[in-house]
Amino acid sequence: MGDNDVWQGTLALMILKTLESMGELHGYGIARRIEQISGDRLIVQYGTLYPALLRLEQEGYIASEWGLSDNNRRARFYKLTRAGRRQVEKESQRWEKATAILARFVSPNEEPL
């Protein structure tokens, strides 16, 4: 896995957080927004993005419908569901705990949180 590849498991949360903050978006818009927020440190490949979107839709966290993009092309637009909003909250808390624990190993001399 290269430095710019999205870690497995983090992409779902990034997608959910993106939809939470931006509202309805098509796949290209989601990918660009994730890259923008990362300061272009992450590259979101379509082969990674679309299976994640499909999985999130199957799990009921997002819903999709066809619409027209800014350049009048047919595109699938995704939005957060009520279950997705709950999942964002749950996953965000889980990641905050996990990164706090990991930080203790990476920087063991730091004061505990």
pLDDT digits (tens, 9 = 90+) for 31-85: 999 999 999 898 998 899 999 999 999 999 999 999 998 889 999 999 999 999 9
Single pTM value for the model: 0.84
The whole-angstrom separation of Cα 93 and Cα 13 is 11
SS3 15: helix
Q: Taking the domain 10-106, which CATH number applies?
A: 1.10.10.10
Q: Alpha carbon of 60 to those of 25, 63, 82, 94: distances in Å?
A: 17, 7, 9, 19
Is residue 3 predicted with pLDDT exceeding 90?
no
The whole-angstrom separation of Cα 24 and Cα 20 is 9
Report the mean per-residue pLDDT for the chain. Answer: 89
**What pLDDT does residue 113 have?**
55
